[in-house]
Structure 1
Amino acid sequence: MAMTSNADLNVDDPEVMMDINTTPLIDVMLVLLVMLIITIPVQLHAVNLDLPVGRPPVSAVVPDKIQIDINPQSELFWQGLPVTIAQLEVNMAEAAHQATQAEVHVRPDKNAQYAVFASVLAASRRHGLTRMAVVGSEQFLP
């Protein structure tokens, strides 16, 4: 029993193809890729907030308002009086320990350094002052 090949028989038949057919593999891979894309949830670029519905209740207690100003030279003012960062920290610590938390209104100047404004916000966060407002932001509009 000997093996014969096409070359030995001198037959005009084409040779047998010895490679794997990759077309079905690619088809299966594409189907799996489409299924993966469909099953991945759509990423939303939004922040979901649970906002209260209706009118807010009227509060009988009116909170104190603390005004922090930042002038064009990036100097800080607490209720109109000039303060340093260390004095600001002390004042915020005292305001945080009050029975009713005061509203802190920060009014930065357009030409003030952002680092000073960011340090005021960071100090308020460190001391637990959550009732913050940025006043006078209309100056930043074009």
Structure 2
Amino acid sequence: MAMNIGSSDAEDEVMSAINTTPLVDVMLVLLIIFLITIPVAIQTAPVSLPKANSQANVTKPENITIAVDADGNYYWNASRLPDKAVLLEKLKAVAVKEPQPEIQVRGDKEARFEFLGTLIVDCQRAGILKVGFITEPDRGQQGTM
């Protein structure tokens, strides 16, 4: 009965496994070094801070979505507005709220820029500070309309 300890063919093969033991050793040493040096690096003055109860004084307002379709009709949170005067009055009423909500504009891709431009001008006239545009992400269809 013979035992094959090694052959000449086995010495020529490349070992494809990665030995991760040295990597784990280095990571543990670095972890210990960081745990020791962080308290030394963070130095603060010894002060006793006052105690206070913190309650939220200001609630975040809901965003208002204004949609503009291809025909130039305006929609305030999905309800159609009869004309631009009503839109301006609603914007003025919202502008005085504290904190002021953000206006999010959803413009149809076929809508003329004139409709969106007048909406932005109305927001500016009413005193709205935050106006954002909602778009759909491009899912790899660049250049197609």
Shorter-chain TM-score: what band?
0.5 to 0.7
Deviations 1:53-93, CA, capped at 9 Å, x for gaps? xxxxxx96322210000112221101111112111000000
Q: Which amino acid aligns with 2:60?
A: V
* SS of residue matched to 2:97: coil
SS at match of 2:120: helix
Q: 1:59-138 alignment to 2 at 5 Å?
A: 61-83=59-81, 84-136=83-135, 138=137
Give distance in 2, aligned partners of 1:108 and 1:137: 11
Structure 1: runs of 5+ lacking an equivalent: 1-58
How many residues in Structure 1 have an aligned counterpart in Structure 2?
Answer: 84
- Listed as ranges, the matches of 1:5-24 within 5 Å are none
Query: Counterparts of 1:117 and 1:87 in 2: how far apart (Å)?
Result: 16
Deviations 1:23-67 (A, max 9, x none): xxxxxxxxxxxxxxxxxxxxxxxxxxxxxxxxxxxx963222100
1:82-132 Cα distance to aligned partner (Å, 9 max, x none):
112111000000000112101100000000111110000001111110111
Q: Which ranges of structure 2 fall in alignment gaps of 5 or more residues?
A: 1-56
Amino acid in structure 1 at the alignment position of 2:134: V
